[in-house]
A and B are shown apart, each in its own frame.
Chain A
Amino acid sequence: MHASAGFLPIIALLPFLGALAPGLVIRAGRNACASFTAIPTALALIMLGFCAPAVFSGEVLTYSVEWLPALGLSVSFFLDGLGLLFAGMILFVGLLITLYARHYLSGEDPMGRFYTYLLLFQGAMVGIVLSDNILLLLIFWELTSLSSFLLIGYWNHLPEGRQGARMALTVTGAGGLAMIGGMLILGDIAGSYKLTDILAAGEAIKASEHYLPALILILIGAFTKSAQFPFHFWLPHAMAAPTPVSAYLHSATMVKAGVFLMARMWPALAGTDAWFYIVGSVGLITMILGALIALFKDDLKALLAFSTVSHLGLLTMLLGFGTEAAAIAAVFHIINHLTFKAALFMTAGIVDHETHTRDIKRLGGLRYLMPITFLIAVVAGLSMAGIPLFNGFLSKELMLEEAAHTSWLGSPYVVPVLATLGALLSVAYSFRFIVHTFLGPVRDDYPHKPHDPNPGMWAAPGFLALLVVLIGIFPQATVGPLVELAATAVVGHELHHWHDLKLWHGVTPALIMSIIAVIGGLLLLTRHGPLDRLWLAARRPEAKRIFDAGLGGAVATSGRLIRGSHDGSLSRYLTIFCATVLVLGLTAAATGGLAPATRPMLPVSPVAVVGFVLLVVGTVGMLFAHRHRFRALIIISVVGLMVSAGFVYLSAPDLALTQISVETVTVMLLLLALHFLPKDTSVESSRITRLFHGGIAVAIGLAVSALTFAFLRRDFSTISDFHLANAKSGGGGTNVVNVILVDFRGYDTFGEIIVLGIAGLTIFALMESLLGGRAARRLRNWIFAHRRSEDRHPLMMVVATRMLLPMAVMVGVYIFLRGHNLPGGGFVAGLVIAIALLMQYMASGFAWAQARQKVEYHALIGFGVVIAGLTGVGAWFFGKPFLTSWFGYVHMPPIEEFELATAALFDLGVFLTVLGAVMLMLYSLSRIARYAGETVNVEAMDYDPSKSADDKESR
């Protein structure tokens, strides 16, 4: 690895880091803000400068760090000629734009936000051109779509800005999605997501049967980004952005990303007929269409936008030709277009800034009022028109030369004639930009009195105009080596036909085509007036209207779809969901195979039959009784008991213990809920609906039965032998289930207790928000429909529970302690203690119990999670991974030898969390009850003998 390769990730990251600064520094003033934007850009540019000599000597710098190796995603950067050219352009123009925007933005615009977005965008762009991993490239690609959305919508008080931003995001985002598909196919063919590997596998890719789909998907991404026909319509609407954004994104950088991608993928994808006809033709159409529309646009920025579309088409067409000379021409034109178009955009921004209008028909004669701006505009405009001595001429010559040698569908005339037509139109709109804005008589009706802006504003375009002239006169001395280097990177091998760039090539077909274009263009401009009226009268398809209609149609269709399926009825969602699951399951069952049954069935004992019958009776009874809610609660507890008994019978004592204690708290919870809810459910769905639901339920039940029976009859492989073998020696416990929970899978358990704790806190938060809102008033006026008991805390129950409490706690502690070796453990112990405490609440009343309760439940949850977590962290201090447990045996007479294990400490955390969460849940529910006017007893027993029988009747 070359020493300077270490700069690559820093170059890509600097703009992102720098993006943090402007938003903060804006408080120190606008100049400080602009400076802090320029600093990271300049630093990155300097580092790129350090890398440049190595690249010029023919090296390719690479830098790679694994990110997600399983997905083939790595943070890999590489720098070759093409990357150097683009990264240099992006950072260099970024600096100029920073300077220009400082003077362009007005005092009311939030400048910190602008520069932050600008740096985000810059970072994403640099990331694209430096990425050596196509997945990483896709990430940066999407980032440019997002950051350009923010920049286009920067003036978010303007509807055009918002609409333009939305349209750009929709079109480029959709293209990005297509490109992800294409890139994945490409990576699949090449067997690697590394760009350098893919470029080397060009032959295999072109021979693959998936070449065409991959090509089309990637091209959709490139075409949308570079505004190629038929996706060209978003670019002019993106001109609602501030002019610095238009100059940066929509002429110099972002729209070139698509061109960059086609150039980057050139060795892998170009050279086939499909490439030539798709890329070449789309480029040709876009070039002519863009130029034609540009000629008739009155808005300066719209004119430039369509001319950009046209020039991007030109670049696409050149890349589509697939020849070496065309690649050279494309690279050269990328540089030239950057210089003159950014200058022109900035000029248009100056005109707009000074005269307060961009409408060509309201302008003219500005050459006397704004001589400096006029000079810049003339230089850049003539370059765009392709007039000799300016750089646009040189690359246009190269383009025409290539076009002259290209035959399309067997015809040698189509491409040269159309290319000349494109050049002709380009001459016409370029001169229109100059003539109609700056020449002609001085008018007296400008919206604002124009004059040249301060030097800060014209410095950037002026510098670019200087470059236009320098490159135009000394092409080889200024950019020749860079063009050669980048073109070599595009084609992927040494250039065979490199000629130094020069001004005069002799009388070639290209020169003749150029002369025709210039004369024709000027003639066309003289006839602009009548043609313009004709154009305005003609019916043209309006892209925005089509786009809006398409979008509206999509919204309406999905709206109908959603209203049909998700209409706010839970029953309907779940019906659709269940039916889908059923269909998918049946399809899978019908298409898959089934191995023969190998496992013998266990004999059925009479006890099991009794349990099964009780379960069936309970479940069926539940269905018939669920409208009587109290009855349903009693029946569901029978079902739960049978499930617990089944766990006991089938060798799962831990599960049985857990199930039975959960059953108890669940029934208490539902009882508390039923305190408020209606006590009966009326019949509401029609008989047909019920039959339909019953049918779905029975079908799924049968399917689940069949599935369960199928796998129960078949043998399986398990990793549990490891757990069984190592539970004692590695985890220090004989209850393997508990050892798995606190040791082997301790990380899972840690997560699960956190979930439980969050559930408890969620319930508490829901309760708090309910009691703070509309529900609270309703609750204050709550009238219970049913007769209440006058003896809420019966004597016998109070006494019995008081007696039971120490015993219940003892049982809980016992279950906790034995958990590591015998059935039990933190989960069960937590539930048992919770039940013991709940009994006190139920028997003796809330206030009495609450007064004797010293620890907050929230704190219990917190302590539990922290203790479990600290136990895990403790392992670090012994150089072990998180949650490695330790155990040892301590002999302490007169007690027998006993075991100390850190796992017990972890289990303590589990215990506390479970206890806290369960108590917090029930506490929250009971708090609602007290809010609803439930009187709170001060004493444990509050029998009210004063209530007469009449009172009871009246309630």
Chain B
Amino acid sequence: MELLVALSVGLLTSAGIYLILRLRSFAVILGMAMLSYAVNVFLFATGRLAVGAPPVLSYAKDVSYTDPLPQALVLTAIVISFGMTAVLVMIALGAYFEAGSDHVATDPEDLDDATP
């Protein structure tokens, strides 16, 4: 199970990084969303993995609980990353309206090798 989670985090990170290195704002936004997933799962995983042990107290004795602290931190992180994505979208739209292009580069060199 640990291996699967580790691979998932790595995969999401790779996809996110590849996408934020693209030249159009929409891909960058998608990449940031993927990176947010990766970072949230990574932070969540610092509490280590546990199955069937949610941090909701029960009256039964001898129940094990997973670490609640990373969960609390990640919960707010998820909401904040939504806020960040929304701001990014707004900036991307603004740039598109102002410039008429959704490129995230102003360098003519980068535009030169564009082959539509």
Contact A575 to B21, CB < 8 A, known contacts A647-B44, A752-B79: yes
Size class of the contact patch on chain A: 35 or more
Within 8 A of A (CB), among B83-116: 83-87, 89-94, 96-98, 100, 102, 104-107, 109-110, 113-116
Measured between beta carbons, the chain B residues less than 8 angstroms from A569 are: 104-107, 110
Question: Do residues A748 and B76 form an inter-chain contact, with CB atoms below 8 A?
Answer: yes
| Given A572-B110, A677-B96, 6 new contacts (CB under 8 A) | A569-B110, A602-B49, A693-B18, A700-B13, A708-B6, A827-B79
Question: Do residues A759 and B83 form an inter-chain contact, with CB atoms below 8 A?
Answer: yes
Measured between beta carbons, the chain B residues less than 8 angstroms from A208 are: none
Measured between beta carbons, the chain B residues less than 8 angstroms from A693 are: 17-18, 21
Question: Do residues B93 and A720 form an inter-chain contact, with CB atoms below 8 A?
Answer: no
Measured between beta carbons, the chain B residues less than 8 angstroms from A735 are: 55-57
Measured between beta carbons, the chain A residues less than 8 angstroms from B48 are: 599, 712, 716
Size class of the contact patch on chain B: 35 or more
Measured between beta carbons, the chain A residues less than 8 angstroms from B86 are: 669, 759-760, 763, 921
Question: Do residues A741 and B72 form an inter-chain contact, with CB atoms below 8 A?
Answer: yes
A741 to B76, CA, bound (A): 9
Question: Do residues A651 and B54 form an inter-chain contact, with CB atoms below 8 A?
Answer: yes
Chain B residues packing against A (C-beta within 8 Å): 1-15, 17-30, 33-34, 37-38, 40-42, 44-58, 65-69, 71-72, 74-76, 78-87, 89-94, 96-98, 100, 102, 104-107, 109-110, 113-116
Question: Do residues A571 and B15 form an inter-chain contact, with CB atoms below 8 A?
Answer: no
Contacting residue for A709 out of B6, B30, B81, CB 8 A: B6
Tell whether A674 is near chain B: CB-to-CB under 8 Å.
yes
Contact A622 to B22, CB < 8 A, known contacts A652-B44, A701-B14: no
Question: Do residues A623 and B18 form an inter-chain contact, with CB atoms below 8 A?
Answer: yes
Q: From A650, which residue of chain B is reached at the shortest CB distance?
A: B49
Task: Give the shortest distance, in Å, between B5 (CB) and chain A (any CB).
Answer: 7
Contacting residue for A608 out of B1, B18, B105, CB 8 A: B1
Chain A residues packing against B (C-beta within 8 Å): 567-572, 574-575, 578, 599, 601-605, 608-609, 612, 615-616, 619-620, 622-623, 626, 629, 632, 636, 639-640, 643, 646-647, 649-655, 658-659, 662, 665-666, 669-670, 673-674, 676-678, 681-686, 689, 693-694, 696-698, 700-706, 708-709, 711-713, 716, 718-720, 723-724, 727-728, 734-737, 740-741, 745, 748-749, 752, 755-756, 759-760, 762-763, 766-767, 770, 773-775, 778-779, 821-823, 827, 831, 914, 917-918, 921, 924-925, 928
Contact A626 to B27, CB < 8 A, known contacts A655-B75, A662-B82: yes
A636 to B24, CA, bound (A): 17
Question: Do residues B89 and A571 form an inter-chain contact, with CB atoms below 8 A?
Answer: no
Contacting residue for B97 out of A632, A658, A775, CB 8 A: A775
Interface centre among A650, A734, A918, A924, by most B CB within 10 Å?
A650
Question: Do residues A734 and B57 form an inter-chain contact, with CB atoms below 8 A?
Answer: yes
Contacting residue for B113 out of A574, A685, A914, A928, CB 8 A: A685
Task: Give the shortest distance, in Å, between B55 (CB) and chain A (any CB).
Answer: 4
Chain B interface secondary structure, helix, strand, loop or mixed?
Answer: helix
Task: Give the shortest distance, in Å, between B61 (CB) and chain A (any CB).
Answer: 14
Question: Do residues B75 and A654 form an inter-chain contact, with CB atoms below 8 A?
Answer: yes
Chain A interface secondary structure, helix, strand, loop or mixed?
Answer: helix
Contacting residue for A626 out of B30, B53, B80, CB 8 A: B30
Task: Give the shortest distance, in Å, between A939 (CB) and chain B (any CB).
Answer: 29
A643 to B113, CA, bound (A): 37
Contacting residue for B2 out of A602, A677, A704, A723, CB 8 A: A602
Measured between beta carbons, the chain A residues less than 8 angstroms from B50 are: 602, 650-651
Question: Do residues B87 and A759 form an inter-chain contact, with CB atoms below 8 A?
Answer: yes
3 nearest A-B residue pairs (beta carbon): A705-B10, A701-B14, A775-B97
Question: Do residues B26 and A651 form an inter-chain contact, with CB atoms below 8 A?
Answer: no
Measured between beta carbons, the chain B residues less than 8 angstroms from A609 are: 4
Contacting residue for B71 out of A626, A655, A749, CB 8 A: A655
Contacting residue for B107 out of A567, A616, A760, CB 8 A: A567
A568 to B29, CA, bound (A): 18
Question: Do residues A697 and B15 form an inter-chain contact, with CB atoms below 8 A?
Answer: yes
Measured between beta carbons, the chain B residues less than 8 angstroms from A567 are: 106-107, 109
Measured between beta carbons, the chain B residues less than 8 angstroms from A636 are: 30, 33-34
Measured between beta carbons, the chain A residues less than 8 angstroms from B69 are: 718-720, 723, 740
Measured between beta carbons, the chain A residues less than 8 angstroms from B110 are: 569, 571-572, 685
Contact A705 to B68, CB < 8 A, known contacts A571-B23, A760-B83, A773-B98: no
Measured between beta carbons, the chain A residues less than 8 angstroms from B55 are: 651, 720, 724, 735-737
